């Protein structure tokens, strides 16, 4: 199988075959092949936005499903996400130029007192992999830092993570500050981390508890399609 793929000349495929091959290459985490394929589609005068949704996002949707179902594992998904990024690197400036609709923007960071960021980083990578703009403000964020970053970046989603039972109550401090500033309804708040559960998320007034990175992506897509209405729902869902 490997040899055959090495011999495959992507340029000889018709559009449908090429998009199909891109789904497979994303699945296999082949960054160079994705880079090449994106360039071929651009040469064929595809709209950057169509490449993003039909080839990349749809490919990553399949990856997400198999990750959720335990068929793919963390290192494989990271390779897929990196391949997606290779494609996005080319598309990003073009998308901005053409004024294409945005997938959505997420601001993410661990809360004050909590420096555990592996889970947060996985979520950031998977969200980027799904085509979202991700602003990562790192670890140990006091409420002021969240508010500043929200004002600067105007995200659709705020993601907070905590690994400790001592630090997770701080999520409520941040949410309460959003309410106080009158911007709570402008932003969806996702929370996650090992000690959390749905009941906790509900009790602090978050919009969603995301058990893992795949769940965060799924929830974000659902949320964005609710926000943007049915046109983009079709885009994010079926590709």
Partner 1 sequence: MTDTIISSATKEVVIGFDRPFVIIGERINPTGRKLLAAEMAEGDYSRVESDALAQVEAGAHMLDVNAGIPMADEPRILAEAIQLVQSLTDVPLSIDSSIVEALESGLAVYKGKALVNSVTGEEERLEAVLPLVKKYGAAVVAISNDETGISEDPDVRFDVAKKIVERAADYGIPASDVVVDPLIMPIGALNEAGSAAFKLLHRLQKELKVNTTGGASNVSFGLPNRNGLNGAFISMAMASGLTSAITNPLHAEVMTSIMGADVMMGHDPNCTRWIKKYREPSVEGEGGGRESRRRRGRG
Give the whole-angstrom CA distance, residue 165 versus residue 70.
27
Number of neighbours of residue 59 by Cβ within 10 angstroms = 26
| Residue 38 or 63 with smaller CB distance to partner 1 | 63
CB atoms within 10 A of CB 210: 23
Smallest separation (angstroms) from partner 1 to the CB of 119: 9
Contact predicate 220/34, CB 8 Å? no
CB of 141 to partner 1, least distance (A): 12
- C-alpha angle with apex 91: 35 to 40, nearest 5 degrees? 45
Work out whether the CA dihedral 119, 122, 127, 128 comes out positive or negative: positive
Cβ closer to partner 1: 95 or 217?
Answer: 217
**Least distance from C-beta 57 to partner 1, angstroms?**
23
Which positions lie near partner 1, rule CB under 8 A? 73-75, 78, 115-118, 121-122, 139-140, 164-168, 194-197, 199-200, 203
Between residues 79 and 236, which has the closer beta carbon with respect to partner 1?
Answer: 79
Burial of 108 by CB count in 10 Å (0-12 exposed, 13-18 middle, 19+ buried)?
A: buried
Shortest Å distance, C-beta 188 to partner 1: 21
Query: How many Å apart are CA 25 and CA 40, to the nearest integer?
Result: 15
Shorter beta-carbon distance to partner 1: residue 10 or 78: 78
Residue 168 to residue 161: CA distance in whole angstroms: 8
58 vs 117 by CB, closer to partner 1? 117
Taking the least distance from each CB to partner 1, the nearer of 48 and 129 is 129
How many H helices and E strands in the chain? 12, 5
Instruction: Answer for the pair 112, 163: CB distance below 8 angstroms, yes or no.
Output: no
């Amino acid at each position: 199988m490997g040899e055959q793929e090495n011999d495959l000349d992507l340029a000889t495929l018709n559009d449908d075959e090429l998009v199909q091959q891109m789904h497979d290459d994303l699945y296999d985490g082949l960054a160079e092949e994705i880079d090449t394929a994106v360039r071929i589609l651009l040469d064929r005068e595809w709209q950057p936005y169509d490449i993003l949704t039909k080839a990349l996002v749809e490919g990553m949707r399949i990856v997400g499903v198999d990750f959720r179902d335990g068929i793919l594992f963390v290192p494989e998904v990271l390779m897929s996400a990196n391949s997606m990024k290779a494609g996005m690197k080319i598309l990003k400036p073009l998308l901005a130029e053409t004024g294409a609709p945005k997938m959505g923007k997420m601001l993410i960071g661990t809360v004050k007192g909590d420096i555990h960021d592996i889970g947060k980083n996985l979520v950031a990578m998977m969200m980027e992999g799904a085509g979202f703009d991700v602003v990562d403000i790192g670890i140990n964020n006091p409420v002021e830092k969240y508010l500043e970053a929200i004002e600067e970046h105007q995200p659709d989603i705020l993601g907070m993570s905590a690994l400790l039972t001592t630090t997770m109550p701080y999520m409520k401090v941040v949410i309460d500050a959003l309410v106080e500033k009158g911007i709570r309804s402008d932003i969806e708040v996702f929370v996650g981390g090992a000690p959390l559960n749905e009941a906790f998320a509900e009790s602090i007034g978050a919009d969603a508890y995301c058990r893992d990175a795949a769940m965060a992506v799924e929830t974000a897509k659902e949320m964005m399609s609710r926000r943007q209405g049915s046109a983009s729902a079709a885009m994010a869902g079926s590709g």
